[in-house]
A and B are shown apart, each in its own frame.
Chain A
Amino acid sequence: MEAFRRLEAVAVPLDLPNIDTDQIIPARFLWRPRATGYGGLLFNDLRYEPDGSEAADFVLNQPRYAGAKILLAERNFGCGSSREQAVWALYDYGFRAVIAPSFGDIFYNNCCKQGVLPVVLPEAEVIALRAALASSNAATVTVDLERQSVEGPAGFKTGFEIAAFRRRQLLDGLDDVALTMALIEAIAAFEAEYDRDLPWLAAGQALH
């Protein structure tokens, strides 16, 4: 996984609340292998008209936000379906950080597994950052995970909280599975005890 330390990049505001993962990546694309690339499918139904032309009013289609790597979203961003393809699409498009007042829990976890930093800021701070971006010609925001800070135009600066283990995982770009496989003896010991205490979990297996 790609590590995340500090990112200075164009930030694009997406003002609607409750943007669910069906809108980030519609279900009809989910069968596609990751290697085929998901960037072009990000926000497909918001970004493109049914005839395939660009939706002129959608924010990602505005030249001002070309090359954006930071998404400034609204409350409950990434709610709904657990599809990790939502993060694949954001990542493949180029996003490496999403800032919002709140996230869907599963989406938040999925971001941390893919090297995309989810930043939770109080709603008032998100509104202030959006206003700072709107009032400035520069659309650049800096997100620093080591210092846990967000800086924007017009002197915007604030800190953010993130669980220590998620911060470390993102800073180091750690692979969970490799980390856990190193603990396999402790896992096996736990399992032996668990299987002894809950032996009925084997019921039905003989039938199949």
Chain B
Amino acid sequence: MTAGLSMFEKIWRRHTILEREDGAVLLHVGRHLVHDGTAAAFHSLAERGLPLRRPDRTFGTPDHYVPTATRDLATVTAPGRREMIESFEASAANLGFTAFGLRDHRQGIIHVIGPEQGITQPGLVIVCGDSHTATHGALGALAFGIGSSEVAHVLATQTLWQAKPRAMRITVTGALAAGVAAKDLILAIIARIGAGGGTGHVIEYAGPAIAALSIEARLTLCNMSIEAGARAGMVAPDDTTYAYLKGRPFAPAGAAWDQALAYWRSLPSDPGAAFDHEVTLDAGAIGPMVTWGLSPETAVPVAGAVPDPAAEPDEERRAGMRHALDYMGLAPGTPMTEIPVDRVFIGSCTNSRIEDLRAAAAVVAGRRVRVPAMVVPGSGLVKAQAEAEGLDRIFIAAGMEWRYAGCSMCVGMNGDIVAPGERCASTSNRNFAGRQGRLARTHLVSPAMAAAAALDGHFIDVRGIMKEL
């Protein structure tokens, strides 16, 4: 009798073209996603005089460099930005792949529109020149970020040379409490296993707390797998997945749907499938989280405090903590709820979908924010949906800015940046030094927690506000 296979192993085998004696595996790529930071790879393809091998398997949108205050490119005057957007759209036209351009109502963050359009599907190897590609694993795909040289290789050959990663399973028991989001769950996981805890691994998230999550919550969860160092994160497809996919523009229909469904149903890990590492968490023990440092692994419960480096026995870690506290302008022992917030950003491939915006709107409805706050939907379709539901009017009435779709202040490449020394409560994925702008101070939180911080001007347990509603 053969041992059961994990979902990762099944997808890996389905996409293996050949394996060399030295361990390198040539993998077929089912879907290749590209964006306006892909210019160097398009350039490399052109330099080699090679065609795009599979325009029908390549999909893209400009997201990193796009303005969010307007769709008028004439207003983009900073060096490089406009050229990156225009060069992306020219590449799409020349090479003939499906692109949702700046003026297309479906444009958005590539990791939002892949699932939204049904381009992301279970059982596929999906790659993109962006580390948050793990997002797409929420639908049961094996999705991972690659560098520019690898992107050029995929453009030319629709394949990648890979070493086989190891498999890790994170089982989450129990259920998340009201007011506790997928963002809090993934921050708690990263705090537990560390920013390098998943290095070299593909993580499968499993257990009743995961099965109970919506697809959008699973997208948030898988999105930040890279912040635990993992190559990819994935959740087994189930009826929630199929209901989400049905009817989406690039999803199969009719007889093709039934054929796809048969494949998708074969994907979940077999009983007895082997994992190199297993981790178990209780969802019920997790509360709203806030980061204090320069790595997502520095997440603590909002009821907690900034830790004291003096209590850290490891010398390297102690030095890292001191460096982080100095950069963040924080003193050891400060309760998280006493940290003032200068600015709030709600958006990014982690938290810019309709459920995220609904959660934030529920908190600010009928109130006024105390600090500048910006809401950036993940796609034009999310924006339209939010406007149909009246969420835009709630945000604007609360004193928040309502923007066009893009990566925006998560990475600041379009000019939406946090000023030096400013402290930002952000629903994005990275609190790295300088990530949101030089000397910017980032604290990662869920959309509801970001909205609560905007109202209070400090971090506050959103569950207290929710009781008042």
Contact = CB atoms under 8 A, between A and B. Distances in A.
Interface of A: 15-18, 20, 22-23, 26-28, 30-34, 45, 50, 74-76, 79-85, 87, 102-107, 109-110, 113-114, 163-166, 168, 176-177, 180-181, 183-184, 186-187, 190-191, 194, 198-205, 207-208
Contacts, number: 200
Contacts of B31: 201
How many chain B residues sit at the interface, stated as a range, is 35 or more
Nearest to A77: B196
B317 A200 contact: no
A113 B320 contact: no
Contact of A18 (B22, B83, B260, B320): B320
A85 B39 CA distance: 12
B28 A191 contact: yes
B411 interface: yes
A203 B153 contact: no
B195 A18 contact: yes
Given A17-B316, A105-B231, A194-B28, A82 B145 contact: yes
Given A26-B438, A200-B256, A165 B163 contact: yes
B37 to A, nearest CB: 7
Contacts of B159: 180, 187
Nearest to A29: B80
Interface stretch (B171-179, B213-221, B355-363, B427-435): B427-435
B48 interface: yes
B17 A109 contact: no
A110 B147 contact: yes
B259 interface: yes
Interface of B: 15, 17-18, 20, 22-24, 26, 28, 30-31, 37, 39-40, 48, 50, 54, 56-57, 65, 79-81, 83-84, 98, 117-119, 121, 124, 129-131, 145-150, 152-153, 156-159, 161, 163, 165, 195-196, 199-200, 226-227, 229, 231, 249-253, 256-257, 259-260, 263, 294-295, 297, 316-317, 319-320, 323, 411-413, 420, 430, 432-435, 438-439
Contacts of B317: 17
A125 B158 CA distance: 40
B298 to A, nearest CB: 10
Contacts of B251: 203-204
A177 B263 contact: no
Contacts of A184: 157
Contacts of A181: 50, 156-157
